[in-house]
């Protein structure tokens, strides 16, 4: 079947009746519109030089559509996928009856731009996202910041929160100059903690060049697309062993689009290594797996697809037994090609209580969302 004629059928809501759905990962990909929110000086700069520093990897996606978007997400009125909040509302919020959906605007982190530009770009991105917030009350947004400038990041977080409490978390790159827990970023964590905002890490980032893996660049998009959990596996040990959570005991971290399947083996490795190397981190107040359990949240998309269907339940049960049952949050990744439908990606035979927690309960608790307000209220 030619790709152009492929359509995604929206399956029925059967089995999920009466359950609210919150989507933790939606991508506005409207680069041109973001650039329009830049000050004149930096608009001219973009015109002069373009965005420099994209890793080759961003060019090896399977399609020539930006961010490998789903073909049918291109708005009928023109523009690229993820550029029309009204079409996205129709295709996502209304189609699936979502209570809320969180915008993670990640499409412009190239890495080769001046620091002052990056600060203004974060601001422009947030201002652009605000136009989505105005378009529908169900949109929520992350706050983009340029983490290598912590002072400007803190000011930007505070600016956004002054505008709207629907800016619900701070969004950081995962490909960083230094791993996530480095004290250089602590002012950002301090501000997030003080405002009660979770900090989210989403795949990709400005410092990706030459380090799409711990051994240099990958070759194929297949590797790039699969290498989500490798990022989580660097964020977690860094944040824990740098002592971030002893310094910021109320800090909450959401790892978005980084899989959740590696979490239990990581908890085991953390504790086993700590048993022999604890003298190196004498200030750590607790077993490292306890920080993992208490401070991290994870998102579903792309959800686990084991060799045999029953293995999903075995793996999920192990995740729950390890203490992460209230930590997994549903995400679509709309409008990207590998988007998960809430109706089809949540295995049918999960207990209703688990479905409720994954589809909305865990996110509602993390972000303080009122699910009774949505049209699909419980």
- Binders of another protein among residues 198 to 217 (CB under 8 A) are 205, 207-208, 210-217
Binding to another protein by residue 259, rule CB under 8 A? yes
Strand stretches in the chain, DSSP E: 22-26, 100-103, 139-144, 167-172, 199-202, 253-256, 296-299, 328-329
Helices 150-163 and 115-135, interaxial angle, to 10°?
20
What residues have CB less than 8 Å from 179, skipping those under 6 apart? 234, 235, 237, 238
Minimum CB–partner distance for residue 52 and another protein (Å)? 20
Nearest distance in Å: CB 361, another protein: 24
When the beta carbons of 54 and 337 are compared against another protein, the nearer one is 337
Closest listed residue to residue 21, CA positions, set 368, 355, 366 = 355
Cβ-based nearer residue to another protein, 131 or 273: 273
Query: At what angle are helices 186-195 and 150-163 packed, to 10 degrees?
Result: 20
Q: Is 70 in the site for another protein (CB under 8 A)?
A: no
**Number of helices and strands (H, E) in the chain?**
16, 8
- Give phi and psi for 315, each to the nearest 5: -70, -40
Stretch that binds another protein, among 121-129, 237-245, 343-351, 359-367 (CB under 8 A): 237-245
CB of 125 to another protein, least distance (A): 21
Nearest-approach distance from CB 295 to another protein, in angstroms: 16
37: left (phi over 0), alpha (psi -120 to 50) or beta: alpha
Contact range with another protein by CB under 8 A, out of 32-40, 80-88, 148-156, 235-243 = 235-243
Q: Counting contacts by CB under 8 A, is residue 295 touching another protein?
A: no
Binding of another protein by 235 (CB under 8 A): yes
Please report whether residue 283 would count as binding another protein according to CB under 8 A: no
**Cis ω on the peptide bond leading into residue 302 (within 30° of 0)?**
yes
**CB within 8 A of 256, min separation 6: which ones?**
24, 25, 104, 200, 201, 202, 203, 299, 331
Out of 31, 126, 153, 233, point to the residue binding another protein (CB under 8 A): 233
Decide if residue 175 touches another protein (CB under 8 A).
Answer: yes
Stretch in the footprint of another protein (CB under 8 A) among 44-52, 124-132, 192-200, 255-263: 255-263
- Piece in contact with another protein (CB under 8 A), picked from 90-98, 109-117, 270-278, 363-371: 270-278
Examine residue 275 and tell whether it contacts another protein (CB under 8 A).
Answer: yes
Among 1, 48, 59, 276, binds another protein (CB under 8 A): 276
- Contact between 141 and 166 under an 8 Å Cβ cutoff? The reply is yes
Q: Which of residues 2-61 bind another protein (CB under 8 A)?
A: none
Gap between the Cα atoms of 87 and 75, Å rounded = 6
User: For residues 155 and 293, which CB has a smaller minimum distance to another protein in the complex?
Assistant: 293
Binding to another protein in span 320-359, by CB under 8 A: 321, 337-338
Cβ pair 82, 69 in contact under 8 A:
yes
Considering only 77-85, 143-151, 178-186, 348-356, which stretch makes contact with another protein by CB under 8 A? 178-186
Residue 242 contacts another protein per CB under 8 A:
yes
């Amino acid at each position: 079947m030619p790709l152009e004629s492929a359509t995604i059928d929206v399956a029925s809501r059967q089995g999920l009746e009466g359950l609210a759905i919150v989507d933790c990962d939606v991508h506005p990909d409207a680069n041109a519109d973001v650039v329009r929110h830049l000050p004149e000086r930096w608009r001219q700069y973009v015109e002069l030089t373009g965005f420099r520093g994209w890793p080759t990897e961003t060019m090896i996606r399977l399609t020539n559509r930006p961010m490998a978007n789903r073909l049918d997400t291109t708005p009928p009125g023109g523009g690229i996928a993820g550029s029309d909040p009204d079409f996205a509302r129709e295709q996502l919020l209304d189609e699936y009856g979502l209570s809320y959906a969180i915008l993670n605007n990640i499409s412009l982190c190239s890495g080769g731009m001046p620091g002052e530009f990056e600060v203004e770009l974060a601001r422009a991105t947030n201002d652009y996202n605000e136009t989505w917030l105005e378009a529908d009350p169900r949109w929520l947004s992350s706050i983009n910041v340029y983490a290598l400038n912590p002072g400007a990041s803190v000011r930007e977080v505070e600016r956004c929160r002054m505008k709207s409490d629907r800016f619900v978390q701070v969004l950081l790159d995962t490909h960083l100059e230094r791993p996530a827990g480095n004290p250089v970023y602590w002012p950002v964590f301090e501000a997030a903690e003080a405002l009660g905002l979770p900090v989210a890490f989403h795949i990709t980032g400005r410092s990706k060049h030459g380090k799409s893996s711990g051994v240099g660049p990958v070759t194929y998009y297949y590797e790039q697309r699969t290498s989500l959990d490798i990022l989580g596996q660097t964020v977690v040990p860094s944040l824990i062993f740098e002592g971030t959570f002893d310094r910021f005991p109320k800090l909450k971290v959401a790892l978005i689009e980084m899989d959740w399947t590696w979490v239990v083996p990581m908890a085991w490795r953390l504790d086993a290594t700590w048993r022999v190397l604890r003298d190196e981190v004498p200030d750590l107040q607790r077993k490292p797996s306890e920080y993992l359990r208490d401070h991290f949240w994870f998102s579903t998309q792309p959800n686990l697809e084991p060799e045999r269907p029953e293995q999903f339940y075995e793996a999920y049960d192990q995740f729950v037994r390890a203490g992460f049952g209230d930590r997994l949050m549903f995400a679509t990744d709309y409008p990207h090609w590998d988007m998960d439908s809430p109706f089809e990606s949540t295995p049918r035979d999960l207990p209703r209580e688990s479905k409720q927690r994954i589809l909305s309960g865990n996110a509602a608790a993390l972000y303080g969302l009122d699910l009774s307000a949505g049209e699909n209220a419980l």
